[in-house]
Structure 1
């Protein structure tokens, strides 16, 4: 058995004709051993006929994992269309990954992937909404689904109705070509992990209770159409949020009883108020990480990057409010602004069991702060409220190759 074969037509700038002949000979001319995984990475001009020949080899070699990846900057003047034989000659596939290709419909041949468990479709052009729904319904044991949409994929309503699905990733950047509204329908009662990055401002409908979700990552530029989805991830143990608002994100009275790890993106202007709300509703939270989502900032909402942190009112919190379970606090890309210092001060004051706090910054000026390793217990006061005792060995501050310990008292207002 051959564990894995990777054919890359950009290797050593080989001429495509030579590359095609080499692939054909190695796949078809000799007695075929079983190939566990077959990966095509194509950036030069590629003929649909070659792809058709190679897909026939998938069946002959009993391939279990197929990956066809057409480069975004491919030399092809027209998109590569995959042959209909993909739906009939690949019944042994367990993993199928396609990128930047065109799928065609074939009403005469039913789609069948009886053992497919992992499916990744990135930047695909589909015949229609119904085709994608039919494709997913043909995968009766599918567990892992990755869908990255493009602006001209011919999908207006993306329906994911897969009872066996355990992991779902949906990504769609803002559509710069038109103002069409795209929507989602999700029916996956066995889902354990979900990651959604949607900047097309489309709504989402959830048709089943998803009480098994453990990991959830949500990045949206317009949250109103997704409010009901938050109710579906209330059972999550690990949560990442990058949302444009803190108002009505989820119904009042909701509690994240299982939430242990929270990561909050700081690129949106409302992140502070959103953070405070989630902290209040997470009684078992142990780890908190704040970080700016660099990819989404550069790709989707650069205009929000320099907007100031909004005003937030600590006095709105009840006097006995404490993060009694928080043990680890980390802030990546800390800039040291007044608002950020207030957030740090707040976290330190209300975290009665904090064991480690790490602040990471690329600003060399922040390392001028006097270093101090704190080994004793400091009494911190919440204004006129009762003192809170914080057990800590200091805030570890990382700056490139420098590591210093900041005096916690410089962040606390008595």
Structure 2
């Protein structure tokens, strides 16, 4: 008790700092029973984390209580991570969470049910709207158990966003109401027929992962990703080579490129076709230093892509290729072909696994 009294005598600023380091909101709120000195102290903590790992202990109502209380006091950062994909019953979240909270900084939602969201224009269109001016990190993963519906979509207004992660293989569109000029890292894995608005609003991105089923109308004309230095492209879709050409052309500062098949190929997968660009992208002549290719198969199209990179990559320092095949003879043939490829950069080193 003597020790607790000594702790209670510390200034509020120091106690709040201690509370902000606790791992979850549950731990923070639990301190209110220590003494009258602590009863309302948690309401002024500047950082509150809700952790759903022990989901049976919580309910959506708990989040509402904490958020509304925090919104009336001095919380300046709230992190909420909800993953209902492993729960027996889905978590239903209130609209307040993603439209009214003024201090929410990080929002991660995986397979949750969001209450009261629909289109005011068309009853057949379902919209999930995120309008949080303070939001800096947004992660949206739709449930794989849902049926695909092209009338389902997202509307996002988060002008301060710095990290954006969206995986949506079931919806039809994503509308960005305002540009997001502060985004430095993005992960975009969608089957939307028109991803134009997503990519057009994150041109400030420095690190970007892309897996898109459509390579047409990717972003507005004259769009340039001036700050993009690290690009990862998934090679599972038929259109990925067209996407590669577009991104190389419009990323003049690109330094690192990674190609990898992250998803399984569909049963009737059509092989991608390679159309060599009529002009060499600026990044190949002035900035691209590394090329990493995971699950390389050595198809004619893939060999043409690597050859194009070797012939035009003035600044290439390292090309690392790992084969998808376990056939030793096939891998040896790949090594021979790659080794004898003409290289524009005299310092380019080839690593093959």
TM-score range, shorter chain: 0.7 to 0.9
Aligned to 2:332: 368
Q: 3-state DSSP class of the match of 1:233?
A: coil
Pairing 1:346–2:308 present:
yes
Residue equivalent to 1:236? 205
CA-to-aligned-CA distance 1:14-48 (integer Å, 9 cap, x gap): xxxxxxxxxxxxxxxxxxx97923599xxxxxxxx
Shift of 1:367: 3.8
1:223 match: 193
Q: Distance in 2 between matches of 1:83 and 1:281?
A: 44
SS of residue paired to 1:204: strand
CA distance in 1, matches of 2:114, 2:99: 23
1:84 to 38, 50, 61: 61
The whole-number CA distance in structure 2 between the counterparts of 1:197 and 1:370 is 34
1:68 aligns to what?
A: 52
Deviation for aligned residue 1:256 = 1.2
Alpha-carbon distance between aligned partners in 2 of 1:249 and 1:113, rounded to the nearest angstrom: 43
TM-score, length basis structure 1: 0.64
* Preserved CA contact (<8 Å) 2:137 2:162: yes
Q: Distance in 1 between matches of 2:274 and 2:60?
A: 57
- The secondary structure found in structure 2 opposite 1:277 is helix
Q: Deviations over 1:361-391 (max 9, x none)?
A: 242324424868x99xx994xxxxxxx7322
Q: Distance in 1 between matches of 2:160 and 2:214?
A: 29
The number of equivalent residue pairs is 306
Distance 1:389 1:65 in 2: 51
Please state how far the C-alpha of 1:353 moved relative to its aligned partner: 1.0
Question: SS of 1:147's equivalent?
Answer: strand
Asked whether the 8 Å contact 1:90–1:113 carries over to 2, the reply is no
Matches within 5 A, 1:10-409: 36-38=22-24, 57=30, 60=33, 62=42, 64-69=48-53, 82=59, 84-88=61-65, 115=75, 116-123=77-84, 124-126=90-92, 131-132=94-95, 134-150=96-112, 155=117, 156-177=126-147, 179=149, 181-224=151-194, 226-294=195-263, 297=264, 302-303=265-266, 307-314=269-276, 316-318=277-279, 323-324=284-285, 325-364=287-326, 365=328, 366-369=330-333, 380=342, 389-398=344-353
Q: Distance in 2 between matches of 1:363 and 1:176?
A: 34
Q: Secondary structure at 1:229's aligned position in 2?
A: helix
Task: Pick closer, same or farther for the CA change 1:177–1:80 going to 2, 3 Å.
Answer: farther
The alpha carbon displacement at 1:138 in A equals 4.9
Confirm or deny: 8 A CA contact 1:58 1:89 kept in the other structure: no
Tell me the distance in 2 between the aligned counterparts of 1:196 and 1:332.
23
Contact 1:38 1:66 in 2 (8 A): yes
Cα deviations by residue, 1:58-93 (Å, 9 ceiling, x for unpaired): 75475954423368xxxxxxx987273543357787
Aligned-residue Cα RMSD (Å) equals 3.6
Q: Match of 1:218, SS? A: strand
Unaligned runs of 5+ in 1: 1-32, 41-53, 72-78, 94-110, 381-387, 399-414
